[in-house]
Amino acid sequence: MKAQKIIIDTDPGIDDAMAIHQAFADSRLEVVGLTTIFGNVYVEQAARNALWLSEQAAYKCGVATGASKPLIQELNTPSFHVHGAEGFGRLEDIHINGTLDPRPAHIYLSETLRAHSGEIILCPVGPLTNIANLLDYDPDVVNHVKKLVIMGGAVHVPGNVTSFAEANFWNDPHAADKVLAADWQIDLIGLDVTATLQFPPAVFEQVAKTSPRIGGFIYDICEFYIDFYEKIVGKRVCLMHDPAALLAISDPEIFTFEKTPLSVIVSGEEVGNSIVSENSGRKAVNVAVKADAQAARQKFLSIYAEADSAYLKRINDEGE
Judged by beta carbon distances under 5 to 8 A according to partner kind, the member of ligand BDR, Ca ion, none in contact with residue 66 is: none
160 touching ligand BDR, by CB under 6 A? yes
Per CB under 5 A, contacts with Ca ion among 295-314 are: none
The catalytic position among 9, 11, 172, 308 is: 11
125 touching Ca ion, by CB under 5 A? yes
Give the phi and the psi of residue 300 in degrees, each rounded to 5.
-55, -45
89 touching Ca ion, by CB under 5 A? no
**Amino acid in position 19:** A
Q: How far is the CB of 36 from ligand BDR (least distance, A)?
A: 12
Q: How far is the CB of 312 from ligand BDR (least distance, A)?
A: 28
13 touching Ca ion, by CB under 5 A? yes
**Amino acid in position 299:** K
273 touching ligand BDR, by CB under 6 A? no
> Which member of 45, 112, 168, 274 binds ligand BDR (CB under 6 A)?
168
The catalytic position among 21, 241, 242, 251 is: 241
- Count the site residues for Ca ion by CB under 5 A: 6
166 touching ligand BDR, by CB under 6 A? yes
Per CB under 6 A, contacts with ligand BDR among 33-92 are: 40, 79, 82
Give the phi and the psi of residue 238 in degrees, each rounded to 5.
-120, 125
d(CA 12, CA 179): 21
Mask for 239-268, x = binds Ca ion (CB under 5 A): ---x--------------------------
Q: From the CB of residue 317, how many other CB atoms can be counted at a distance below 10 Å?
A: 9
Name the closest residue to ligand BDR (Cβ): 167
Smaller CB separation from ligand BDR, 100 or 123: 123
Closest CA to 201 of 182, 216, 219: 219
d(CA 253, CA 308): 26
* Contact (Cβ atoms closer than 8 angstroms) between residue 117 and residue 111: no
Q: Three-state SS across 210-268?
A: HCCCHHHHHHHHHHHHHHHHHHHHCCCCEECHHHHHHHHHHCHHHEEEEEECEEECCCC
Closest CA to 216 of 304, 297, 298: 304
> Which member of 87, 126, 127, 261 binds Ca ion (CB under 5 A)?
126
Smaller CB separation from ligand BDR, 184 or 228: 228
Return the DSSP state at 282.
P
Distances in whole angstroms, Cα of residue 118 to Cα of each of 93, 142, 144, 185, 263: 39, 10, 5, 12, 25
- Helix then strand then coil, in percent of the chain rounded to 5, is 45, 20, 35
130 touching ligand BDR, by CB under 6 A? no
Instruction: Calculate the CA 190 to chain-centre distance.
Output: 11
Does 292 participate in catalysis according to the annotation? no
Does 144 participate in catalysis according to the annotation? no
> Which member of 241, 244, 246, 308 binds ligand BDR (CB under 6 A)?
241
Burial 91-126 (b: 16+ CB within 10 A, else e): beebebeeebbebbbbbbbbebbeeeeebbbbbbbb
Smaller CB separation from Ca ion, 50 or 307: 50
Judged by beta carbon distances under 5 to 8 A according to partner kind, the member of Ca ion, ligand BDR, none in contact with residue 160 is: ligand BDR
Active site residues: 11, 241
In the complex, the residues that contact ligand BDR under the rule CB under 6 A are 13, 15-16, 40, 79, 82, 125-126, 151, 160, 166-168, 241-242
In the complex, the residues that contact Ca ion under the rule CB under 5 A are 11, 13, 16, 125-126, 242
